[in-house]
Amino acid sequence: MQTLIAFWNILRKDIENYYLKPPNISWGIIFPLSWTLMQLIRSQGDIGIEELLSGLMAMSVLFGTTSMLAVTITFERRSRSFDRLLIAPISISTLVIAKILGAILFGILNAFVPVIFAAFFINLSGINWGITLAAVILIAITSALLGLLIAVSAKEVFEAQTFSNFFRFPMLFLCGLFIPIDKLPVILKPISFCLPLTYGTDILNGAITGNSIFNAIFNISVMLVFTTLLFYLCLRNIKTKWIL
Amino acid sequence: MGIVDVANLKKSYGEIVAVDDISFSIEKGEIFGFLGPNGAGKTSTINMMIGLSRPTSGQIIIDGIDAIKNIKKVQRIIGIVPDENNLYDEMNGFDNLCFCASLYGISIKEREKRAMELLEQFNLTKAGKRPFKTYSKGMKRKLTIAAGIIHNPKILFLDEPTTGIDIESARQIRELILDLKKQGKTIFITTHYIEEAERICDRIAFIVNGKIVKIGTVTELMESVEREHKIRLQLDRSIKDIKEELENNIKNCRVEIPEENSCLVISKERIALSPILQLLDSKGISVYEAKEIKPSLEDVFVKVTGIEASKLKKEKEKVGK
């Protein structure tokens, strides 16, 4: 019960103090929306909204989860308020989950912003919503853990921002969000398959358009492996880099 | 065995040894002070005791619990006030306290009650609704201390509690620390203010370059160094011309002239005044005042550590700025 109280209050503080603040909304929502418009205008009607939807959803989750997490954790580390959490009688695993959960929830909400817009233009009844939700959750978890991994490595807020963009922007092109993996140069394909977002987007593609590289069970399994790996990597890095 | 027992504690960062094989024990209900200049190893020691840093070697036992193996158990019974005011800028004082209490699993009703009580005790009731970032340095310090005790810990760790704040706030904080001692709390405090340590600590350890060079009560520390008796004489003129004669005539004494119209008579034995006064009178020199100069903890610190007190004062000023 005591752990639960601490967990809930860390989550609530982060949501109130960070995730519901204007900078987060601008990065998490406005950026994916602008991207949508850019894609639609550029394609001049060649690309259907349905084909764009999985990429837009994946991008919204990616930016929604990572827009604040790395920056706020680095900021809390700089101001040493994060030390309060490290010296609280809760396990590091509980702390990690509480810190990333706010980002995950915000990412999941962001994912459905393009869906709401798409609902005005196309019929979405053919989409497998169960698989879509699972994909969105897994993308949110892996993206949040990547954000945390960056936060552990960064000492300054600007470093966190730079590192975030360093992995976010290439992922837009490498993970099949807007450019299909089979159309990527051969040299880039192995990189694509090393990134968790590739598998998440593939699940979304399968659930929304029916076109995917792998089947959903394989993709989900790979995502779960990435989640476990990233979680333990984050725990290890926190223990070695923050508790010196 | 004390409530805190530290044995052969060492912390190295590569080749740099921050804490070098220190051992000490803190009794239940006492205020134990760590006194030393910046970089002496005070914060490194505290960080190891509270779980923010891992010792290279050694043992820390807090209330019978091995703090290296079971730090989360220890964290439940300790309160920590770091050297920086690390509460959340955007949150108000009341919410900051409630949040800190929630980290210890305290129920909403109880934490709101405790927060109100502490705001009142620390004279921050009005400020409780204001964001932390709008507080003065003294108010921030007080709220940070309140956050450290909101879960009613047995042992409180205070890292430089009065550094960088105004005299009045520092005085209030010292009173609060003494109040906490009266409530039965054990307090570990680090400071580089000699007077502060002298005023509030039951026992003090001098720490320099990661090593404890002396440990004891203020009286024990005073007695530990060879004591010199000093008498300051206020005169009507300078005695530079008869200094040597004075030293030759008074047994085992030496004379120093710190100012034009005064002198210091220093001896390892008690100083008899009448021969000095007679000699000065015979030379036509009037003595207006004779005052015994007692050694201070500062003198002891300088003697034991070899660090001039002025160095500590300069650090104090730097931090204050």
**Tens-place pLDDT, residues A57-87:** 898 888 888 877 887 888 888 888 889 999 9
CB contact under 8 A, B105 and A83: no
CA–CA dist B25, B5 (Å, integer): 4
Domain-embedded: residue B304: no
CB contact under 8 A, B100 and A84: yes
In a domain, B321, yes or no: no
Instruction: List, for residues A174-232, the tens digit of each pLDDT value.
Output: 988 888 888 888 888 899 999 999 999 999 989 988 888 899 999 999 999 999 999 99
pLDDT of residue B315: 60
B136 shares a domain with B77 = yes
Which residues share a beta bridge with B42?
none
Regarding whether B40 and B150 lie in a shared domain, the answer is yes
Phi, psi of B141 (to 5 degrees): -65, -45
Q: How high is the pLDDT of residue B118?
A: 93
The answer to whether position B18 is within a domain reads yes
The backbone torsions φ and ψ at residue B227, rounded to the nearest 5 degrees and listed phi first, read -85, 135
| B107 contacts chain A (CB < 8 A) | yes
A14-33 b/e (C-beta count within 10 Å ≥ 16 → b):
bbebbbeeeebeebbbeebe
Q: Counting Cβ atoms within 10 Å, is residue B6 exposed (0-12), middle (13-18) or buried (19+)?
A: buried
Taking 70 as the threshold, does the pLDDT of residue A244 lie above it?
A: no
Instruction: Check: CB of residue A139 under 8 Å from CB of residue A55.
Output: no
**Residue B93 and residue B143 in one domain:** yes
Sorted by sequence, the CB contacts under 8 Å of residue B318 that are 6+ apart come out as none
**Do B178 and B51 reside in the same domain of the chain?**
yes
| B262 bridge partner residues | B234
Q: Does B131 contact chain A (CB < 8 Å)?
A: no
Verify that B27 and B102 share a domain, yes or no.
yes
Task: List the domain boundaries for chain A.
Answer: 2-242
Size of interface A-B (CB pairs under 8 A): 70
Same domain, B125 and B234: no
Whether B301 maps to a domain, the answer reads no
Return the residue in A7, A87, A244 with the most chain B beta carbons within 10 A, the one to mutate for interface testing.
Answer: A87
Is A49's pLDDT higher than 80? no
Strand partners, B59: B7
- Which residue, chain included where needed, has tokens 């007695």? B223
pLDDT at A170: 87
Does any CB of chain A come closer than 8 Å to the CB of residue B73?
yes
Query: CB of A119 within 8 Å of any CB in chain B?
Result: no
- For residue B63, the one-letter residue type is D
List of chain A residues whose C-beta atoms are within 8 Å of the C-beta of residue B86? 79-81, 83-84
Which chain A positions have a beta carbon within 8 Å of B19's beta carbon? none
Q: Could you read off the pLDDT of A83-135 as tens digits, one per residue?
A: 999 999 999 889 989 999 998 998 898 888 888 877 887 787 888 899 999 99
Q: What is the CATH number of the domain that holds B248?
A: 3.30.70.1560
Q: Inter-chain contact B99–A1, Cβ cutoff 8 Å?
A: no
- Whether residues B243 and B134 fall in one domain: no
Residue with token string 């960062």: B13
Contacts of B147 in chain A (CB under 8 A): 84
Q: Which of A99, A103, A175, A163 is nearest to A137 (CA)?
A: A103
Q: Could you tell me if B131 and B188 lie in one domain? A: yes
Q: Would the CB atoms of B102 and A6 count as touching at under 8 Å?
A: yes
The verdict on residue B54 lying in a domain is yes
User: Complex ipTM, two decimals?
Assistant: 0.83
Element of type H or E holding A119: helix A92-119
Domain count, chain B: 2
CA distance A52 to A40: 9
Q: Does the structure show a pLDDT above 90 at A163?
A: no
CA distances B84 to B137, B145, B160, Å, are: 10, 11, 9
Residues B105, A6: C-beta atoms closer than 8 Å = yes
Task: Name the residue range of residue B158's domain.
Answer: 4-223
Cβ–Cβ gap B102/A87 under 8 Å: no
Q: What is the pLDDT of residue A123?
A: 81
Task: Using DSSP bridges, classify how beta strands B4-13 and B186-191 pair: parallel, antiparallel or unpaired.
Answer: unpaired
For residues A131 and B88, what is the distance between their CA atoms, to the nearest angstrom? Answer: 39
B12 with B25, same domain?
yes
Residue (of B217, B201, B196, B179) closest to B31 by Cα position: B201
pLDDT in tens, chain B (321 residues): 789 999 999 999 888 999 999 999 999 999 999 988 888 899 899 999 999 999 999 999 999 999 999 999 999 999 999 988 889 998 999 999 999 999 999 999 999 999 999 999 888 999 999 999 999 988 999 999 999 999 999 999 999 888 878 888 888 889 989 999 999 999 999 988 888 888 899 999 999 999 999 999 988 888 777 678 889 999 988 888 888 888 888 878 889 988 888 999 998 888 888 888 988 899 888 999 999 887 788 888 888 887 766 666 666 555 544
What span, in angstroms and rounded, lies between the C-alpha atoms of A223 and A201? 11
- The strand pair at B57-62 and B65-66 is best described as antiparallel
Q: Is residue B94 part of a domain?
A: yes
Is residue A240 less than 8 Å (CB to CB) from chain B?
no
Same domain, residue pair B118 and B189:
yes
Pick the residue of A78, A84, A238 with the most B CBs within 10 A to test the interface with B by mutation: A84
Residues B11 and B26 in one domain: yes
Which among A211, A62, A207 is positioned nearest to A132, based on CA atoms? Answer: A207
pLDDT at position B302 is: 84
Same domain membership, residue B288 and residue B148: no
A 215-234 residues with CB < 8 A to B: none
Give the neighbor-by-neighbor strand order of the sheet with B253-256: B253-256, B262-267, B229-235, B287-293
Task: Choose the closest CB to A86 out of B52, B106, B147.
Answer: B52
CA distances A166 to A78, A141, A169, A171, Å, are 21, 19, 6, 9
Tokens linked to B15: 């080749």
Is A85 an interface residue toward B (CB < 8 Å)? yes
Q: Would B299 be classed as within a structural domain?
A: no
CATH of the domain at B212: 3.40.50.300
Sequence-separated (6 or more) residues with CB below 8 Å from residue A135: A200, A203, A204, A207, A219, A220, A223
Residue B321: the pLDDT is 47
